[in-house]
Amino acid sequence: MSRPTKILVAVSVLAIGAFLASKVMFTTPPNTDEEAMSRPIPPEVHGKGDYSPVSIARDQCRKLTNAIRTFHAKRGMRPLPEGTPADEKRVFVVDAAMLEALNGSQKSLNEAGVNYLSGAGLTQALSPGKFYVAFDFDGDGSISDPSAPDKSVSQDILVWNSGEDGKPETWADNAYAWQKQ
């Protein structure tokens, strides 16, 4: 075999080898987990593939925070009854009245009937009494951290879920959407 022919054969073998290696390396094996394939994908978006109760609650906290923030920006007030004291240490339960103000069905706080919950991506009904909120009433950009009152969080709204035990004061199982400092 001549030298140019040997080079051509070597290059061809390398090319075929590279092609076969790429097929092996970059081909995804078929998903054989029939249970995973038949399971519906929940509409709420959270950690990729993580549909644990804590992950779902954390995602709902983020979306609820956005809904409340947008309500406040557009309406010029918080979804609280008139005359509510502006106390930053006070924690508010996200009750049925607050959810109705946010979804537009309570006309006294939301005359236009705008659904701020769906606008924030909340497509599932939230359970009243499972979520809690604290506000930055004085506008300094921080709120006392409800899980560690001697610390503060640099946000205007804090929302958290009371977790599996239903107690907002036991933080081991609570879900929240802010960064700890």
- CA Rg value for the chain: 26
Q: What predicted TM-score, i.e. pTM, was given to this entire model?
A: 0.71
Task: pLDDT tens for the chain, 181 residues: list them.
Answer: 777 777 776 777 776 766 666 665 555 444 444 444 443 333 344 456 678 888 899 999 999 999 999 999 999 999 998 888 888 788 999 999 999 999 999 999 999 999 999 999 998 889 899 999 999 999 999 999 998 888 999 999 999 999 999 998 889 899 998 887 6
| Residue 87 burial (10 A CB sphere; 0-12, 13-18, 19+) | exposed
Q: What's the pLDDT score for residue 31? A: 47
Helix then strand then coil, % of the chain, to nearest 5: 35, 15, 50
